[in-house]
Structure 1
Amino acid sequence: MLIFPETRFDFCGDEYIYAEISKEMRIESNFKAISITNELRKRQIPGIVEIYPANASYLIRYNPNEVSPHDLLAYLQEVDREKSKRSELNFDSRLIEIPVWYDDSVTKEAIEKDQHRHQEPGQSNFDFVMKINGFTDKESFIEAHSVNPYFVTSLGFKPGTAWTFPLGIENEQVIQAPKYMSPRAKTPREAVGIGGAFTVVYPTQSPGSYQLIGLSAVPVYDPTQSLEMFKESFFLARPGDLWKYRPISEAEYRNIREEVNKHTYQYKVKHVPFSGEEYDEKRAAYISQMMEGF
């Protein structure tokens, strides 16, 4: 049964209100953050400048010359109470396939240059994450990581970075990994990494500290908007989307990259309504139903 603690609101300077739904990361808290921020965008409240959903919180930027901060706080508290009901945790989502070449040679080569920053120098990130999560063979680890869709909880760090959290499994089944002891100097573009309980795809080459387990064949950030999927936004992800990581071979990776480079690649997408109430009641069965025909 979904039960939310009382949301804690704080004024941050003269232009921000911060709302903490829960102290720990609970996927249900993220459902609420996305439901609330979607509702606030839809209402187009005068004075609100920007809206930022996060994993278990949200941040509102406002213009104090257009709206009283105390009036806005009262309004936010009213919306927050409304969205504390299970029946109100609804939003439109997109199920998007992300083809991944797991245990690839590209990320392996990249991490060799920064072995001194890692907990276990001399071991690949893939093997390290597999071992600490109790897996003894590559195929079962890949299956466990890719079998369920991942929920896009928030965006940040660099433009296009999406934090994704697995759905349909119990917390003790979630694959997790510590970050590097100190960040790598370089992470390949589209590398797939795990940090804590989250999986991310690095949108561009950058420093990074997540454990690298594969390489996405498709971009998640396209400032040139050369692919059809990016016509409305530079970013592939939206909070509330679902990403399904699909294991592929090196040969399929190179075939997909050729389509991407020719600007002909078509992402596999399914538009789905998401219900936090149904997910809370059915969990794995709800996810299986959502995945039908995908």
Structure 2
Amino acid sequence: MKTRYSFGGDEHIFVEMDEEMSLDAFFKALTMSNAVKAAKIAGVTEVCPANASFQVKFDPDIIAPDEMMAKLKALESAAEAGPKRLDTRIIEIPVYYQDPWTHETLMRFRERHQDPSGTDLDYAARINGFDDAAGFIRAHHSAPWFVSMVGFVAGLPFLYQLVERDRQLQVPKYLRPRTDTPKLTVGYGGCFSCIYSVRGAGGYQMFGITPMPIYDPEQSISYLQDFMVFFRPGDIVKWKPIDRAEYDAITAQVAANTYVPRIRPVSFDLDAFKADIDGTNARLMEALDGD
């Protein structure tokens, strides 16, 4: 894995761990970006982590670009030598799969899809070797997911499935993007799942919807009062399938400002995960059991 450093004008440095997404690349990018924040380098104004990379914005009147570059390269050596361990949190996200709202939307845009004759879930199931949509849905929620990046649209999380590479779900985006996507749609594109934080255009396949808001610029929702964006890189997500009655109940709780997301602190060790993927995933998901 060869790290690539490049300048972005006079005020940015882009650091790319690898051209393709992997847990190793994600961990290294997250470790390095956290190290940059912890170092409190004079002149650094922003650190923006991504899936397998990060970008640093700095003031060249305070620190010269070449000096900034040297400091980042020094931090890489420390990141490679350190433990690949993360203290984070696991969050249960309720999902109403095959809901009527995303179904109505996807049917309006079939001419932009690879398979106009079916639904997004039908297509995703078929190309991933499942007999039906139910099999694909089970695969989607049966393992935890890492939040590898937050952005593109404010508050939108990119989620990477914690399974062996040959078990990862892969679904291409629409042939042409839609002009509409319901707010809080659970989507899929490439190897990433996501939650659309706001209503708008989109090209990811649509599988369901969550009643749990993840972005609130007014910060009126109880669990978003400290910060308008719910997710942060390194969070782990457990999808929980729900039905229409459960969806309506949670929606009512959100409206009454009484809904409390289910969250537990957990530790994730990359080497331990590689040694026992299924065992690690079971322990992570069990952290939310027993309430």
- TM-score where L is the length of structure 2: 0.95
| 1:215 maps to which of 193, 198, 209 | 209
Q: What is the 5 A alignment of 1:1-12? A: 5-12=1-8
1:135 corresponds in structure 2 to 130
AA in 2 matched with 1:195: G
What stretches of structure 1 of length at least 5 have no aligned partner? none
Question: In 1, distance between residues paired with 2:107 and 2:254?
Answer: 28
Q: CA deviation at 1:90?
A: 2.8
Number of the residue aligned with 1:16: 12
- Give the alignment partner of residue 100 of structure 1, picking from 79, 95, 98: 95
The residue type equivalent to 1:36 in the other structure is M
Consecutive unaligned residues of structure 2, counting only runs of 5 or more, are none
Paired residue secondary structure (2:186): strand
Cα shift readout 1:21-59 (whole Å, capped 9, x = no counterpart): 111111211011111111211222111111111111111
Separation of aligned partners in 1, 2:168 and 2:234:
19
Match of 2:85 in 1: 90
- Partner SS state of residue 71, structure 1: helix
Aligned length: 288
The answer on whether the counterparts of 2:4 and 2:16 sit within 8 Å (CA) in structure 1 is yes
List per-residue Cα deviations over 1:157-190 (Å, max 9, x = no partner).
21011100111x2112111111111110100000
Q: Say whether the 8 Å CA contact 1:148–1:166 is kept in structure 2.
A: yes
2:248 to 254, 267, 274: 254
1:113 pairs with 95, 103, 108, which one? 108
| Pairing partner for 2:196 from 186, 202, 227 | 202
Could you tell me how far apart the structure 2 residues matched to 1:136 and 1:6 are? 40
Determine which of 62, 87, 92 is the counterpart of 1:66.
Answer: 62
Give 3-state SS (helix, strand or coil) of 1:88's partner.
coil
| 1:189 aligned residue | 183
Contact 1:153 1:162 in 2 (8 A): yes
Question: How large is the RMSD of aligned CA atoms in angstroms?
Answer: 1.4
Give distance in 1, aligned partners of 2:129 and 2:274: 28
TM-aligned CA deviation for residue 278 of structure 1: 2.5
- TM-fit CA distance, 1:7: 1.2
In structure 1, what residue type is equivalent to 2:138? Answer: E
CA shift, 1:227, in A, is 2.5
Rounded to whole Å, the distance in 2 between the matches of 1:124 and 1:171 is 26
Give how far 1:274 is off. 2.5
Moved more, 238-247 or 107-116: 107-116
Runs of 4+ in 1 over 6 A off after TM superposition: none
